[in-house]
Amino acid sequence: MSNKVVHAIYNDDDILLAAVHKTKAAHYHIEEVYTPFPVHGLDKAMGLPATRLAICAFLYGITGLFIYFNLLRYIMIQDWPQDIGGKPSFEFIQNMPAFVPVLFEGTVFFAAHLMVITFYMRSKLWPFKKAENPDVRTTDDHFLMEVGIHGNEEELVSFFKNTGAVEVKVIDKH
């Protein structure tokens, strides 16, 4: 089985977006699109599902809030209660105004750090990972759409030339 793909290179994001719509309408499977910056609407045009990173952020924030709540309760109420300014710290609710900034920062800390870790794990961006970019121009000013070939090589090449691609190449992926 051949692992050939077509690399259609565009120099404008609007032309790329129109080409993605035409490609999906022609029922070709888009393997990947490489862009130098985020293109608004590209994920919807490609039919990608919505991200669930926001749900993870909420759950991570709740986890941080719970951990910091218990940490403050243990340290400031149970383990080492202090009489500060004539106000004893014997109940959590009495000290709640002083604890709100700490609880907020703990929530943000957990949500932010665990979201970054989740993003890197989900997108498989490990330290020292070799770049998978097929064309160096996509980091500067070009856009690349990669479509798998399934016995229709000439048809795909002519199709992408008609979508406004400045360059169309057939590549054998290993």
Nearest to 10 by CA among 126, 128, 125, 143: 143
The label of the residue with tokens 């809030």 reads 65
pTM: 0.71
Alpha-carbon gap, residue 38 to 19, rounded angstroms: 16
Domains of the chain, start order: 4-50+131-172 (3.30.70), 53-122 (no CATH)
Contact 48/62 with Cβ under 8 angstroms? no
pLDDT for the residue numbered 166: 94
Alpha-carbon gap, residue 102 to 92, rounded angstroms: 13
Contact 17/45 with Cβ under 8 angstroms? yes
pLDDT for the residue numbered 155: 87
**What stretches of the chain show up as alpha helix (H) in DSSP?**
13-25, 42-46, 53-72, 96-122, 153-162
pLDDT for the residue numbered 7: 94
DSSP string, 30-41: EEEEE-SSPPTT
Ranges of residues in the chain with a pLDDT under 50 are 1
pLDDT for the residue numbered 88: 64
pLDDT for the residue numbered 56: 93
pLDDT for the residue numbered 98: 81
